[in-house]
């Protein structure tokens, strides 16, 4: 069922047999041992939550009160963006948050995209599609431009659910908001309907 074509997906929970769940749990255990924190074992029907642009923007604020910094530290993807602050982003606490993972939204997106690229490059696929923590709307209000996504429905054999997930922060920038007195990652270039320039 996880390897169905994108056209077969209807957006409702996918019922899995106990044998399939056991296989998925074994895959999740191996992926977690490899320090790739995007696979989570489940014994329920699969339902991938959807994160909107507004949901994600809340996660792209630096130094959120009471939230630890990204566990990737100096390797946090936020360091790829020029300018201050020179801190990692705060850990992801949005839609589909896994309590065992303290990476930021940019790092989670990056890992999902790298897993897809690895399998595309080598022409391989995992024994079961990996369950992403969330998906994103595309080409509609509240969503992203599909051209910025690192995971697409064509990657259903690698990432389960035939979903879109935003990719790496191409043309993103760090911006200061004088009203909230916070720094955040501006991802407006990737937002559907925005007039943001790519470069």
Q: What is the pLDDT of residues 84-119, one digit of tens each?
A: 999 999 999 999 998 889 999 999 999 999 989 888
Measured between alpha carbons, how far is 133 from 138 in angstroms, rounded to an integer?
A: 17
pLDDT in tens, 42-84: 555 567 899 999 999 999 999 999 999 999 999 999 999 988 9
Write down the residue that tokens 């769940």 correspond to: 21
Of residues 56 and 18, which shows the higher confidence score? 56
Measured between alpha carbons, how far is 150 from 114 in angstroms, rounded to an integer?
A: 8
Measured between alpha carbons, how far is 116 from 17 in angstroms, rounded to an integer?
A: 26
SS3 category, 50: strand
Cβ–Cβ < 8 Å for 24, 42:
yes
Average pLDDT of span 29-45: 53
Which pLDDT value is given to residue 34? 56
Measured between alpha carbons, how far is 150 from 134 in angstroms, rounded to an integer?
A: 13
Which pLDDT value is given to residue 139? 94
For 125-128, the CB contacts below 8 A with 24+ separation are 125/157, 125/158, 126/27, 126/158, 127/23, 127/27, 128/2, 128/20, 128/23, 128/24, 128/27, 128/160
pLDDT range class, residue 7, cuts 50, 70, 90: very low
CA-based diameter of the chain, in Å? Answer: 54
pLDDT range class, residue 24, cuts 50, 70, 90: low
């Amino acid at each position: 069922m996880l390897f169905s074509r994108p056209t077969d997906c209807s957006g409702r929970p996918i019922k899995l047999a106990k044998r399939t769940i056991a296989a998925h749990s074994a895959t999740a255990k191996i992926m977690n041992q490899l320090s790739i924190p995007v696979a989570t074992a489940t014994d329920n029907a699969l339902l991938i939550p959807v994160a909107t642009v507004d949901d994600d923007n809340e996660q792209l604020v630096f130094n959120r009160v009471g939230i630890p910094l990204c566990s990737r530290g100096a390797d946090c993807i936020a360091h790829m963006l020029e300018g201050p602050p020179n801190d990692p982003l705060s850990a992801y606490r949005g839609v589909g948050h896994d309590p065992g993972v303290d990476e930021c939204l940019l790092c989670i997106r990056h890992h999902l995209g790298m897993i897809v690229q690895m399998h595309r490059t080598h022409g391989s696929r995992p024994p079961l599609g990996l369950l992403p923590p969330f998906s994103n709307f595309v080409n509609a209000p509240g969503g992203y431009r599909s051209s910025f996504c690192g995971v697409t429905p064509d990657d259903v054999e690698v990432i389960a659910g035939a979903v879109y997930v935003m990719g790496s922060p191409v043309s993103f920038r760090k911006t200061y908001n004088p009203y909230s007195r916070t720094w955040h990652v501006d991802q407006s270039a990737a937002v559907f309907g925005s007039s943001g320039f790519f470069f």
